[in-house]
Copies of this chain bind each other. A is one copy, B any other.
Amino acid sequence: MMEAGQREALERLKESRIEGAIIIGGNGSQAGAYALSRAGLPVIGVASTIDNDLPGSDITIGVDTALNIALEAIDRLKVTASSHHRGLLVEVMGRNSGYLALMAGLAGGAEAIVIPEREITPEAIADIMRSAYDRGKKHALIVVAEGAANNAERLAPYFTDKSRLGFELRATILGHVQRGGAPTAFDRLLATRLGVGAIEAFVRGERGVLVGWIDGRVKTAPLSDVVRQLKLLDLSVLDMAEMLSK
């Protein structure tokens, strides 16, 4: 049974004489794309979200730009990190996904990475920072996903009382800054290829599919599969990051 909203959307598209749609976006947009497709509209989806949590594409449009903005912030923080009882925290975007935090933390050499997929306690974070300084590190940098239980807002009260964990935390919250900026070469090339791929899929007669980037190639996957699957974060990357930070 079709929902009222979808029925209205279809009618509006017909009135505007729009006979098909290429829908660029993440999980929410592609769920909508699938609904319109089932309602009879010729639809092609293009994989685009900075969270990189959309099944059907190894990497999605926007991730590389957001990642480089986060990394730039981390690089700048490292310049100022010096006090032995101070931790620097960067909160990056990601309501349900720790992908950006994980990759920014790995690329930026963070001492701790806090993501929804594997939470750690404030006490454990303080331990990691203490141990980083003990091993001669010049900074103690934590990257946190906004969607982590212990995000910047929730970690603040633990660290306000310096005597408690022995550490003062200075937070940077990037917020929507990560969505702006000039797109990187990778993102422009990915968008170009997926865009061309969407047109080619249309011409080939494919409908109700997502155009994504799989194993270094443009590939299409049925939207019916995409909306039913869940793309999980590869936590072995977190293991690697933790190993390298030691």
* Residues of chain B with a CB closer than 8 A to A179's CB: 76, 79-80
Which one of A16-24, A188-196, A223-231 is at the B interface? A188-196
Residues in B whose Cβ lies below 8 Å from that of A72: 182
Tell me, yes or no, whether A215 is within 8 Å of chain B by CB: yes
Contact A106 B192 (CB under 8 A): yes
Could you tell me the distance in whole angstroms from the C-beta of A85 to the nearest C-beta in chain B? 15
Copies of this chain, count = 4
A240 touches B196 (CB 8 A): yes
| A78–B173 CB distance below 8 A | no
Q: List which A58-117 residues lie within 8 A (CB) of chain B.
A: 58, 64, 67-73, 75-81, 88, 103-104, 106-108
A166 lies within 8 A of chain B by Cβ: no
Contact B176 A175 (CB under 8 A): no
Given contacts A170-B175, A172-B175, A173-B171, contact A67 B185 (CB under 8 A): yes
Please judge, given known A-B contacts A76-B180, A175-B172, A181-B79, whether A106 and B189 are in contact too, CB under 8 Å. yes
A144 to nearest B CB, angstroms? 13
Say yes or no for A244: interface residue by CB 8 A criterion. Answer: yes
Contact call B80/A184, Cβ cutoff below 8 A: no
Is A31's beta carbon under 8 Å from chain B?
no
CB of A174 closer than 8 Å to a CB of B:
yes
Residues in B neighbouring A216, C-beta threshold 8 A: 58, 214-216
Instruction: Say yes or no: A176 contacts B172, CB within 8 Å.
Output: yes
Chain B's closest residue to A89 (CB) is B175
| Contact call A64/B172, Cβ cutoff below 8 A | no
Q: Is the CB of B177 within 8 A of A71?
A: no
Given contacts A173-B173, A175-B172, contact A80 B180 (CB under 8 A): yes
**B172, A75: Cβ atoms under 8 Å?**
no
A107 contact from B108, B175, B189, Cβ within 8 A = B189
What distance in Å separates the Cβ of A206 from its nearest Cβ neighbour in chain B?
A: 19
Asked if residues B180 and A171 are in contact (CB atoms below 8 Å), the reply is: no
**Closest chain B residue to A214, Cβ basis:** B216
17 further interface pairs, Cβ-Cβ under 8 Å (given A64-B186, A173-B175, A214-B216)? A58-B216, A71-B184, A75-B180, A75-B182, A76-B179, A76-B181, A78-B180, A79-B180, A80-B179, A80-B180, A88-B176, A106-B192, A108-B188, A170-B175, A171-B173, A172-B175, A196-B240
